[in-house]
Amino acid sequence: QKVSVEVLDHLEHLALVDFRDSEGVERLQNAIQFADQLHEVNTDAVEPMDSVLEDRCLYLREDDVTEGNCTKELLENAREKVEEYFVAPPGNIPLPKLEERDTFLQGS
Amino acid sequence: QVSAALKEGRVTPMELCQQCLSLIKSTKFLNAYITIAEETALKQAEASEERYKRGQPLGVLDGIPVAVKDNFNTAGIETTCASNMLRGYISPYNATVVQKLLDQGAVLLGKTNLDEFAMGSGSTDGVFGPVRNPWSYSKQYKEKSVPKSHSEDKESNWVITGGSSGGSAAAVSSFTCFAALGSDTGGSTRNPAAHCGVVGLKPTYGLISRHGLIPLVNSMDVPGILTRCVDDAAVVLGSLAGHDPKDSTTIQDNFKPFELPSLTDVSKLSIGIPKEYHAPGLSGEILALWSKAADLFRNAGAKVVEVSLPHTCYSIVCYHVLCTAEVASNMARFDGLEYGHRSDMNESTESMYAATRREGFNDVVRGRILSGNYFLLKQNYEKYFVKAQKVRRLIANDFVKVFQSGVDVLLTPTTLSDAAPYKEFIKEDNRTRSAQNDILTQAANMAGLPAINVPTALSERGLPLGLQFIGRSFQEQQLLTVAKWFEKQVQFPMIQLEEVKRHDHDVFQHEKSASF
């Protein structure tokens, strides 16, 4: 089955990455088809595995400050900054809806 | 060997460094390096020389030129991951493994080329262009290749290095450094090691710190080690392994660096040959080589048994889902705000993020992010992501069962065939190629097991073929001991690069003898 335009649009929103052209959409379709092979495997009564180190305790260190004070170094790599702040454009403006966006998905 | 030379004063760190740097310049056509840290390298070499003069070298690695894959953070040196997203990004810190190397006195020559964000199996998809396999320019390959016509440009027949740590493998293979760091998520260290005829070690997950390694798949990534011989790999491993408080996925057990014994008696060894690794597409040459290797062990007295890892054929699909899911999460940090590329689009935060990511990532990365997000959607989570996690357990359990039955080490091929010509390789897209090529190396990442590629013989086309050993968790000593024995038996030939003039043969030569 093909993926619906609503889902594709939803994905573009979630990922903040666009499909760009039909090849991108096809790539996703192929990826899904490929992944469907998983359903051939019988996994009844099998627990999902998060990590190969699941039999060990995760290391937690003491809640002490051991490093920091590197504001200058960290700000160096940012393009837009003011004093000690990273500057972002306004955040309360949502991405335009599908009909209003200049996206490849408009055509499909 | 070179370390001994440094100690005895037969060669100085400055000389070594300068020779390597000039070699890098003369092998620029390989495109193995993205950034060459000439100034800092010379300073490090100078400091090392001072230490040797005082008779106080920091250790075996003092003064040894090394290279690091460009997805490790290196303070003050550009780290790009071969992507437009991080072009111009100067890391403010050193990855733990880089720091460890520097603390031992190693001389960091530069950052090597890779597939963008380590996604790929050819080192062909980075923004700085593909890496060329040094063996393309070897006497051995040229002798065997038949030009289609006299006018065919010999340049166009070059073969790929494999990936994604292709730059590191090419650097070690072409003698521009003595060891290099790669990363291994699905075979990214072992695959190029096999194609470039060098040793590629993937350590057990949790043994070496990932702090500073730009993550792809947090539950499978490990830093990889590329060297020209197994002993060297053990030395580097010794200086890198161990708990790191900055990486809570490193185990807390004490790690003791070891020296590899020279095994003479293999009769107590049990070698497993997993039959599922006779994968579709495996070349006849490699199959024969694999068989020959099994015989080698058998004739030397080891117990060689056929074993089964029934879920091997699903490891690629499983990897596909888990990898894209983790990638979708890990790539979310690239939004242009704190570092890296930032788009000029300024209308809203979201549109700036979207534009930045649109401009910064290539098709492969974007494709994986979108696929990953699809598998993580609420309606798909159980069906794909959790299902893949269950299959992962089945794959890991396969290995547990086999090792419990008494097998010490598994012997398998590393790649399906020798290195493909670039022109052939790019005919299929990245995902298809990865799916084809990762099949033999991926399962070890799923299960977190250590694995090593040992260059074994030359193919009919004069290119390197390697075989892989997979060991038990945290049993690197046993794994490397077996690998070292095997390496000694096969006597893999040294690459004969015509265009490269080496001044100091004593320093650069390793054993040179008849082929396997």
Find the CATH number of the domain harbouring B271.
3.90.1300.10
Residue B177 · residue B134 · CB < 8 Å: no
Q: How confident is the model at residue B505 (pLDDT cuts 50, 70, 90)?
A: very low
Query: In the structure encoding, which two tokens stand for residue A77, read together?
Result: 């790599």
| CB-CB neighbours of B282 under 10 Å | 17
Residue A5 has pLDDT above 80, yes or no: yes
Q: Could B357 and A17 be called an inter-chain contact, meaning their C-beta atoms sit closer than 8 Å?
A: yes
Residue B46 within a domain: yes
Two tokens, residue B287: 């199959």
Task: List residues of B with catalytic annotation.
Answer: 69, 164, 188
Band of residue A62 on the pLDDT scale cut at 50, 70, 90: confident
Q: Tell me how far the alpha carbon of residue B347 is from its chain's centroid.
A: 42
Residues on chain B touching A39 (C-beta within 8 angstroms): 383, 387
Residues whose CB is less than 8 angstroms from the CB of residue B484 and which lie 6 or more positions away in sequence, other chains included: B230, B231, B234, B260, B262, B263
B146 min Cα distance to partner chain A (Å) = 37
pLDDT tens-digit readout, B55-84: 888 888 899 999 999 999 999 999 999 999
- The verdict on a CB contact (< 8 Å) between B448 and A56 is no
How deeply is B398 buried, as exposed, middle or buried, from its count of CB atoms within 10 A (0-12, 13-18, 19+)?
Answer: buried
pLDDT digits 0-9 by tens, B282-321: 999 999 999 999 999 999 999 999 999 999 999 999 999 9
The CA-to-CA distance between both ends of chain B, in Å, stands at 23
- pLDDT value of residue B322: 94
Question: With contacts defined as CB-CB under 8 Å, which chain B residues touch A76?
Answer: 90, 92
C-alpha span between B248 and B107 (Å, rounded): 28
* Cα B425 from Cα B419, distance rounded (Å): 9
Q: What is the pLDDT of residue A61?
A: 83
Yes or no, beta carbons of A16 and B252 under 8 Å apart: no
Average pLDDT over residues A75-79: 89
The 10s digit of each residue's pLDDT in B148-162 is 554 445 567 899 998
Whether A35 and B377 lie within 8 Å, measured CB to CB: no
CB pair distance less than 8 Å for B337 and A18: no
Comparing A3-12, B5-14, B204-213, B493-502, the range with the smallest average pLDDT is: B493-502
pLDDT band for position B509 (50/70/90)? very low
The reply to whether A38 touches chain B by the CB within 8 Å rule is yes
Q: How far apart are CA B197 and CA B490, in angstroms?
A: 13
Chain B hits for A59, CB-CB cut-off 8 Å, are: 243, 245, 248, 250, 252
Residue B297 domain flag: yes
The residue that leads in pLDDT, A22 or B35, is B35
Question: Which of B159, B228, B216 is closest to B511 using CA atoms?
Answer: B228
Distance from CA of A53 to the nearest CA of B (A): 8
Average per-residue pLDDT in chain B?
A: 89
Number of domains composing chain B: 1
Tell me whether A7 touches chain B (CB under 8 Å): yes
The pLDDT confidence band at residue B147, using thresholds 50, 70 and 90, is low
Residue B514: exposure state from Cβ atoms within 10 A (0-12, 13-18, ≥19): exposed
Are A50 and B389 spatial neighbours (Cβ–Cβ below 8 Å)? yes
Distance CA B254, CA B234 (A): 17
Q: How far is B483 from chain A (nearest CA, A)?
A: 24
Asked if the structure places residue B10 within a domain, the reply is: yes
Q: Which of residues 134-193 of B touch A (CB under 8 A)?
A: none
Mean pLDDT for B459-485 is 94
CA distance B384 to chain A (A): 7
What is the mean pLDDT of the segment spanning B177-205? Answer: 94
How much is the pLDDT for A102? 66
What residues does B312 pair with on adjacent strands? none
